[in-house]
Amino acid sequence: MRFPSPSLTRRSALLGAAALPAAAALPGLVRAAGHSAAAPAPVHHAFSIGDFNVSTLLAGTRTVEDPQGTFGMNVSAEEFGEVSRANFIPTDASQFFFTPTVVNTGGEVVLFDTGLNAAGITAALSAAGYAPDDITVVVITHMHGDHIGGLIEGDTPTFPNARYVTGQVEYDHWSNADNDGFKAKVAPLADKMTFIADGDAPVSGITAIAAFGHTPGHMTYHLESGEERLLLMADTANHYVWSLAHPEWEVRFDMDKSAAAQSRKKILGMVAAERIPLVGYHMPFPGVGYVDTRGEGGFAYVPLSYQMMLKG
Ligand SMILES: [Zn+2]
């Protein structure tokens, strides 16, 4: 059977238009389809907050099965299914994104977290126009492996010119735990580290806001330049649907589940009330969006579209 050529042409044009932006924006994801832990092609997303140049860096992706076992531990399969269906996402697999952020303040080049390994973060930085020795400050939001993995490869620090900043509470917890990741990636850099508390500023214009629970000393970072603001929420919420719609749903990675839920409500409530953009380390790439309130005590993620292109 032969289709009339006009509709075939129209259909091809529509398919082409639909397929092209996704492939152009996310080559890493397209290439990674069907593989777990595939190394993505370098991808970054650049924007400005006042005088700060910000780039989110896709340093890795991973497809993980049984998402309810990770993101909805304390709810029924029916409820998990309903919320997933309402948001057009499957219940048998989830896509993980690992997205460090680099901020050039004019005075400092600050990298927030380092991904799973040195190769992933250096490739993404390179795509964004940075060499490892451009980084002057590395801020570690918390010490899970997907955030500290790129600090060191073998015995070689990845960022030779950097000083390091992390939360005192976080450092104290892991230094007292018998943890191989900490020993390999963090301990060798301890003499170059500054330890901070809630409200401290690692760099002018960047302030730490405690969001304990995911780990004992997990911190978010508030950026302010000119009239503009941005919150780097790190792992306060780890899934854009399940953890925002239902902050009380228990997440396997949250070490103190009740404290993590309280931190989600506090941080997401603040971002929603003040209508500031946020970056989430595990939000779908580019990891930038807004948060609105939704339902009773819940939130909705509003992924970035063109808002930042039109800001005055
Ligand atoms: Zn994480």
DSSP assignment of 186-220 equals: IGGGGGGEEEE-TT--SBTTEEEEE-TTSSTT-EE
What tens digit of pLDDT does each residue of 112-164 get?
999 999 999 999 999 999 999 999 999 999 999 999 999 999 999 999 999 99
CB 97 within 8 A of CB 284: yes
Residue 141 Cα, ligand 1 centroid: separation in angstroms?
A: 9
Q: 282: closest CA among 46, 9, 100?
A: 100
6 alpha carbon to ligand 1 midpoint, in Å? Answer: 49
The average confidence (pLDDT) of the chain is: 89
DSSP assigned state of 299: E
Do 254 and 242 meet the contact criterion of CB atoms below 8 Å apart? Answer: no
**23 versus 200: which is more confidently predicted?**
200
How many A from CA of 294 to the centre of ligand 1? 25
Beta-bridged to residue 303, according to DSSP, are: 289
Ligand 1 centroid to Cα of residue 142, in Å, is: 8
Mean pLDDT of the region 99-106: 98
Residue 74 pLDDT > 50: yes
Mean pLDDT (whole number) for 79-95: 97
> How remote is the CA of residue 235 from the centroid of ligand 1, in Å?
5
Average pLDDT over residues 228-234: 98
Nearest Cα to 247, choosing from 310, 193, 291?
Answer: 291
Radius of gyration of the chain (CA): 20
Q: What is the pLDDT of residue 175?
A: 97
Lowest mean pLDDT among 5-14, 79-88, 141-150, 260-269: 5-14
Q: Residue 122 CA to chain centroid, in angstroms? A: 16
Tens of pLDDT along 233-264? 999 999 999 999 999 999 999 999 999 999 99
Both structure tokens of 284: 């779908």
Residue 199, judged by CB atoms within 10 A of its CB (0-12, 13-18, 19+), counts as exposed
Distance 56 CA to ligand 1 centre (A): 15
Q: 158 alpha carbon to ligand 1 midpoint, in Å?
A: 19
Whole-number Cα distances in Å, 235 to 142, 209, 278 = 9, 13, 12
> With pLDDT > 70 as the criterion, what percentage of the chain qualifies?
86
**pLDDT number for residue 311:** 77
Cα of 144 vs centre of ligand 1, distance in Å, is 6
Q: What are the structure tokens assigned to 133, written together?
A: 């020795």
How many A from CA of 252 to the centre of ligand 1? 12
Q: State the distance from the centre of ligand 1 to the C-alpha of 111, rounded, in angstroms.
A: 15
pTM: 0.87
- Is the separation of the CB atoms in 41 and 28 below 8 Å? yes
In the predicted model, is pLDDT for residue 171 greater than 90? yes
